[in-house]
Amino acid sequence: MSMTSPVTCQKIKEKQNSYAPIFEDLIATDSNNNFALSYSINAIEDHSNDNFVLSNLNALLESHHSYPIKGSTYLDRNTNFHVKSSNSEIFNILQAAIAFKLAGKNHKALKLLEHATAVAPDNPDVLNWYGEFLEQIRHDVVTADELYFKALTHSPTHAAALVNHKRTSPLVDRLDLDLFKSIDKKKDYLKEKFDSYNFETLKKQAYYLHIYHTVGIEGNTMTVEQLRTLLETGQVIQGKSIIEHNEVLGLQLALKYVKSLARKEYITVDDILQMHKRVMGHVDPLTSGIFRDTKVFVGRHIPPPSEKVPELMESYANWLNSDEARNMHPVRYAALAHYKLVDIHPFVDGNGRTSRLIMNLILLRGGYPPIMILKEQRDKYYDALNVANVGDVRPFVRFIAHCTLQILDMYIQGTKMLVLDDHSTNTDGTQIINY
Amino acid sequence: MSMTSPVTCQKIKEKQNSYAPIFEDLIATDSNNNFALSYSINAIEDHSNDNFVLSNLNALLESHHSYPIKGSTYLDRNTNFHVKSSNSEIFNILQAAIAFKLAGKNHKALKLLEHATAVAPDNPDVLNWYGEFLEQIRHDVVTADELYFKALTHSPTHAAALVNHKRTSPLVDRLDLDLFKSIDKKKDYLKEKFDSYNFETLKKQAYYLHIYHTVGIEGNTMTVEQLRTLLETGQVIQGKSIIEHNEVLGLQLALKYVKSLARKEYITVDDILQMHKRVMGHVDPLTSGIFRDTKVFVGRHIPPPSEKVPELMESYANWLNSDEARNMHPVRYAALAHYKLVDIHPFVDGNGRTSRLIMNLILLRGGYPPIMILKEQRDKYYDALNVANVGDVRPFVRFIAHCTLQILDMYIQGTKMLVLDDHSTNTDGTQIINY
């Protein structure tokens, strides 16, 4: 595998060392692994207070999850309108929508445009019109830009979409930059607090929530409480399958491994195989840690043939360790690392979980806390990945950026809660958050 | 790895092909593995009749387990007498025992001798006297021979033990040969029946019992019913640890692999690693399928240092595939293969289970059904392995021979039960077992 030059490595090293502290301690693994060594059953720890914190945090996270990709209804999986319609029918709907818009009846116009995009999701006129509507009436430049781009993927010479996209693209770039800036501001704020406050309970809760959401996205039905009991006592949860149990054990083992890689200079193909071995090892000892040897399907997308996987993974690792990647904003770097890995889809199963771990490894190395993609964000997450597949990776980067904001807010809110709880150190009741 | 010469291979091949049928179908694996593919929960099959058969079989097996090593009280782990006594005290006990024996009070003499062996288990005089008593009064030549041998391991020039052992050794060899003959007679009888009777229920029960006993010996507390539910539905058993669940899954996977090796010409080191990967993979994905890299202790016995393991395993595989081994009686070959592997102790954990699988692979290839070492036989099993460690492997071979008889009887009794149950094919009620 080719590496970057020694001089550049030195530069990157310095750059990385400037991040302090690395949030690797947010992965609370070492203390929970005792049960693996014997049959003994430990008493469940007293979490009476933790539970209060936990439920507040989860509520906070769930209220959060509605904003990441605004107005992405045109990709909504739950729609019932996926039927073919004739062009003239679409044309009629569009005409009516325009008429409503001109008459100032924006709500009715929106309804018709939503209907049109559901009926004809690939029609460039519909996409372009819907974009214009969202841009002008809703001032939603980001979604509008995504729609123009999508129109252009279906009709690369579409005049109106070209003009529109040329206008919105730099605006969106600037908005994304602002997003990264606000992320870094919160990260720096949190970093400062990280030394002075005791995050123990919060870290532990985040750790369990992390496992909960990343296995939950793949269909695991265990609750946070259940998986915590499993990990702390080694005892099984009635009514849950053995596979669900082993998925949880796998994540614990994998997170421990991610933590061990946080200060490693380069990420190799073998690191990724080792990560996957841990993610899937308990579930399937025979396919874990090795590349797939069969064709796979991910929805309508067909990943590269299995014989190409080793070569593609070498290129992927080269990219991961390249100056190009390492000089990006860490959130973009992490999001792209995720997207590129699911795109190769090197494993039979566990590709999503492994990709999310690689993403989090990069965030950790960049000085960010590991992020969670909530079970409730599943559809938005997959939609953004689908859009990346058809050529526009920005919505996915944006989605990951919002998830980063979300976890930073969780810790910052958690700090607040912990401080407000502790009257002995903060008796004047002043608000200490002022970012 | 060196192989036997092509000419010899041909000979062995012919010899092996003469065994028909191989009892590989007694491992009923393929049908039970569906749950591993999805979250779907299959209904538990109706086993109302199976349970009746099962409980009868288990009762039969348990009544059986008392005979394998007769009179081996001198090795009894449960004794409370393991305290040092002076030689004069032992001498007095022996004198008293001899006096009782001469007076015809054999019961009292026996009690004293048992006491003496418990107090001074390494005293050659005591061992020799106890042997003579068992030989003369109980006509137990086999145990007597074991005691003379043990006396000689502690005092190689012990005159009386030398004379005694010289007399009993050929007698025991002849008895062992008779044992092998009676095994082969029952095996041939069963082989004949195997084509004409439906062993389906019996095979399935034996399969679950097999897993039950081999994980049970290592401390797993699941019942046969519980592990069957786990394997058939993929649902967990409340109150059992996740490790216990994963041990059961491991055995299922490993037995499937053993079955796939049953018709393979040679057993390689990699086959053994693959077997271990399956046995322990669900429990510990990271140490399964690889040799240990640490020192281990097995009771008071210290297996070879880890750096010697790869080399020792190569020699072991060479021995497994050698003419010398393959020309032995299969039961002796299987028992030695087991003993030699636990002696190397190549893995951190799962050595016993892997050794029992190798043993059963050899039995399968030799035309014998896979055997079970019952949980209840645990102490006798370990004692026989300990005796092998101090130089006499014959008690362990004999123990395995008795286990082989035990499983053959189980199938033959099962046949009887099935035939007596089925009045439509056997209305005259004649006894069809006449070996």
Question: What values do phi and psi take at B235, rounded to 5?
Answer: -95, 150
| Half-sphere exposure of residue B134: CA atoms within 13 angstroms, side-chain side | 26
Q: Can you tell me which residue has the tokens 């190409």?
A: A308
Tokens of B313: 């395993």
Q: Is the peptide bond before B21 cis (omega within 30 degrees of 0)?
A: yes
A294 touches chain B (CB under 8 A): no
In a domain, B19, yes or no: yes
- Gap between the Cα atoms of B366 and B329, Å rounded: 9
The residue among A358, A321, A354 whose CA lies nearest residue A337 is A358
Per-residue HEC secondary structure of A1-22 comes to CCCCCHHHHHHHHHHHHCCCCC
Are A138 and A30 part of one and the same domain?
Answer: no
Distances (CA, A) of B324 to A257, B7, B336: 47, 15, 12
The per-residue b/e assignment along B228-253, b for 16 or more CB within 10 angstroms, e otherwise, is bbbbbbbbbbeebbbbbbbbbbbbbb
* CB environment B387-425: b (16+ within 10 A), e (fewer): bbbeebbbbbbbbbbbbbbbbbebbbbbbebbbeeeeee
**8 Å CB contact between A142 and A70:** yes
Q: Is B236 in Cβ contact with A241 (below 8 Å)? A: yes
| A75 Rama sector, left if φ>0, alpha if ψ -120 to 50, beta otherwise | alpha
Can you tell me the distance from the alpha carbon of B304 to that of B347, in angstroms, rounded to the nearest whole number?
11
CB-nearest to A39 from B39, B241, B250 is: B241
The confidence score (pLDDT) of residue A433 equals 32
Residue B71 lies in a domain: no
Measured distance CA(A371)–CA(A362) in Å, rounded: 11
**pLDDT at res. A192:** 83
User: How far apart (Å, rounded) are the C-alpha atoms in residues A373 and A406?
Assistant: 9
Dist CA B50 CA B209 (whole Å): 12
- Smallest CA–CA distance, residue A375 to chain B, in Å, is 18
d(CA A131, CA A142): 9
Size of interface A-B (CB pairs under 8 A): 87
The CATH number of residue A170's host domain is 1.25.40.10
Closest-CA residue to A258 (of A247, A274, A245, A244): A274
Q: Known binder of ligand: residue A349?
A: yes
**Lowest model confidence (mean pLDDT) among A70-84, A299-313, B297-311:** A70-84
Report the distance separating Cα B277 and Cα B259, nearest Å.
15
pLDDT in tens, B345-385: 999 999 999 999 999 999 999 999 999 999 889 999 999 99
Residues A416, A378 share a domain: yes
Q: Per-residue pLDDT for A63 more than 50?
A: no
Whole-angstrom Cα distance, residue A172 to residue A176?
A: 6
| Length in residues, chain A | 435
What are the residue numbers of the active site of B?
345
Tokens 């291979």 belong to B9
Compare CB distances from A288 to B39, B278, B285 and report the shortest one's residue: B285
Give the angle A377-A378-A380 at the CA atoms, nearest 5°. 70
Residue A5: predicted pLDDT: 46
- Kindly report the pTM of this predicted structure: 0.75
CATH number at residue B385: 1.10.3290.10
Confidence (pLDDT) at A186: 93
Neighboring chain A residues of B246 at a CB cutoff of 8 Å = 242, 246, 282
Same domain, B275 and B131: no
Ordered DSSP codes for B183-204:
HHHHHHHHHHHHHHS--HHHHH
Question: Which residues of chain B neighbour A277 with C-beta distances below 8 Å?
Answer: 285-286
Distance CA(B287)–CA(B348), nearest Å, equals: 7
Cross-strand pairs, B158: none
Residue A219 forms contact with B (CB below 8 Å): yes
Q: Are residues B100 and B208 in the same domain?
A: no
Please give the pLDDT value at position A80: 33
User: Residues A47, A210, A345, A402: which is the catalytic one?
Assistant: A345
Among A379, A376, A372, which residue's Cα sits nearest to residue A409? Answer: A372
Residue B191 lies in a domain: yes
Residue where a domain terminates, one of B152, B174, B196: B174
Q: Using the Cα atoms of residue A335, residue A341, residue A345 and residue A351 in order, give the sign of their dihedral.
A: negative
B121 and B62 in a single domain? The answer is no
Inter-chain touch A234–B253, beta carbons under 8 Å: no
Work out the mean pLDDT of chain A and round it to a whole number. 80
d(CA A119, CA B142): 87
Written as one string, the DSSP assignment of B108-171 is: HHHHHHHHHHHH-TT-HHHHHHHHHHHHHHS--HHHHHHHHHHHHHH-TT-HHHHHHHHHHHHH
Which of B39, B238, B253 is the closest to A236 by Cβ? B238
Task: Among A25-29, A167-171, A391-395, B72-76, name the one with the lowest average pLDDT.
Answer: B72-76
Residue A75 in domain: no
B242/A contact by beta carbon, under 8 A: yes
Instruction: Write out chain B residues lying below 8 Å of A286, CB-based.
Output: 253, 277-278, 281
Shortest CA distance to A164 belongs to which of A137, A130, A210, A191?
A: A130
Which class for B427: exposed (0-12), middle (13-18), buried (19 or more C-beta within 10 A)? Answer: exposed
Please indicate whether residue B206 or residue A306 has the higher confidence score (pLDDT). Answer: A306
Could you tell me which chain A residue has the CA closest to the CA of B33? A284
Answer yes or no: do A34 and A149 share one domain. Answer: no
- A182 within domain boundaries: no
- pLDDT tens for A395-434 read 999 999 999 999 999 888 876 665 544 433 333 333 333 2
**Quick check: B317 and B267 in contact, CB under 8 A?**
yes
For residue A361, what are the CA distances in angstroms to A119, A183, A197, A255, B234? 40, 17, 24, 9, 33
Query: B241 and A234: CB-CB below 8 Å?
Result: yes
pLDDT tens digits for range B188-205: 988 888 776 767 778 888
Q: Is B282 on the interface with A (CB under 8 A)?
A: yes
φ, ψ for residue A241, nearest 5 deg: -70, 160
Q: Is the pLDDT score of A50 beyond 50?
A: no
C-alpha angle with apex B402: B398 to B407, nearest 5 degrees?
Answer: 145
Q: How distant is the Cα of A348 from the closest Cα of chain B, in angstroms?
A: 12
Higher pLDDT residue, B285 or A93?
Answer: B285
Whether residue A435 lies inside any domain: the answer is: no
- Cβ contact (<8 Å) for A285 and B286? no
- Rounded CA gap, B58 and B223, in Å? 12
Q: Which residues of A touch B282 (CB under 8 A)?
A: 246, 282, 285
Residues A245 and A213 in one domain: yes
**Position of tokens 């009436």?**
A137
Q: Is A244 on the interface with B (CB under 8 A)?
A: yes
Contact B179, B398 (CB under 8 A): yes
- pLDDT score at B218: 93
Q: Which residues of B touch A246 (CB under 8 A)?
A: 242, 246, 282
* pLDDT score for A77: 33
Chain B touched by A39 (CB under 8 Å):
yes
**Cβ-defined contact of A278 to B284 (cutoff 8 Å):** no
Give the integer Cα–Cα distance in Å for B51 and A432: 68
pLDDT at position B183, please?
95
Per the CB < 8 A criterion, the answer to whether A279 and A250 are in contact is yes
Q: Which of B146, B174, B202 is the last residue of a domain?
A: B174
Q: Dig out the tokens for B153 from the structure.
A: 């391991």
Q: Do residues A31 and A165 share a domain?
A: no
Interface test with A, best of B235, B242, B260, B280 (most A CBs within 10 A): B242
Count of structural domains, chain A: 2
* Radius of gyration of chain B, Cα coordinates, nearest whole angstrom: 23
Cα nearest neighbour of B42 on chain A: A241
Is B187 touching A (CB cutoff 8 A)? no
> Do A265 and A307 fall into the same domain?
yes
Burial B319-329 (b: 16+ CB within 10 A, else e): ebbeeebbebb
Residues of A in contact with B277 (CB under 8 A): 285-286
Q: Find chain A residues with C-beta within 8 A of B284's C-beta.
A: 36
CB A243 to CB B281 under 8 A?
Answer: no
Pair A220, A344 in one domain:
yes
Distance from CA of A226 to the nearest CA of B (A): 13
pLDDT of residue A53: 43
- Residue B243's DSSP bridge partners are none
CA–CA separation, A54 vs A50, rounded Å? 6
List chain A residues with CB under 8 Å of B245. 236, 242, 245
Q: Which residues of chain B have pLDDT under 50?
A: 1-21, 30-54, 57, 60-61, 63-84, 420-435
Domain interval for residue A403: 13-66+187-422
Residue B172, token pair as written in the block: 């025991």
- Chain A nearest C-alpha distance from B300 (Å): 21
How would DSSP label each residue in A131-195? HHHHHHHS--HHHHHHHHHHHHHH-TT-HHHHHHHHHHHHHHHHHHHHHHHHHHHHHHHHHHHHH
Average pLDDT over residues A221-236: 94
Is A333 a member of any domain?
A: yes
Query: What residues of B are in contact with residue A229 (Cβ under 8 Å)?
Result: none
Q: Which residues contact B92 (CB under 8 A, 6 or more apart)?
A: none
Looking at residue B85, its pLDDT comes to 53
Cβ separation B286–A253 shorter than 8 A:
yes
- What ipTM was estimated for this complex? 0.73
B154 φ/ψ angles, rounded to the nearest 5 degrees? -90, -30
Confidence band (pLDDT; 50, 70, 90) for A251? Answer: very high
CA distances from A143 to A120, A133, A227, A328 (A): 18, 10, 37, 23
What are the backbone dihedrals phi and psi of residue B301, each rounded to the nearest 5 degrees, phi first?
Answer: -85, 135
Question: How far is the CA of B316 from the CAs of A367, B326, B344, B384, B386, in angstroms?
Answer: 51, 13, 9, 21, 20
Same domain, A130 and A241: no
Question: How far is the alpha carbon of A302 from chain B, nearest alpha carbon, in Å?
Answer: 21
Asked whether residue A324 falls in the same domain as residue A277, the answer is yes
Facing A242 at nearest CB: one of B234, B278, B289 = B234
For residue B258, the distance in angstroms to the closest alpha carbon of chain A comes to 15
Q: Which residue of B has its CA nearest to A278?
A: B285
How far lies B217's CA from each of B28, B113, B227, B239, B247, in Å?
21, 31, 15, 19, 12
Whole-angstrom distance, CA of residue B126 vs CA of residue B97: 10
The reply to whether B168 falls in a domain is: yes
* Long-range contact set of residues B135-139: C-beta below 8 Å, sequence gap at least 24: B135/B164, B135/B168, B137/B101, B137/B106, B137/B109, B137/B110, B138/B71
How would DSSP label each residue in B323-377? HHHHTS-HHHHHHHHHHHHHHH--SSS-HHHHHHHHHHHHHHHTT-PPP---GGG
Q: What is the DSSP letter of A77?
A: T
Last residue of a domain, one of A148, A174, A200: A174
pLDDT, residue B237, reads: 96
Q: B33, B38, B39, B236: which to substitute to probe chain A, counting the most A Cβ within 10 Å?
A: B236
Indicate which of A242, A243, A274, A348 best probes the interface with B, i.e. most B CBs within 10 Å of its own CB.
Answer: A242
Q: So what's the pLDDT on residue B224? A: 93
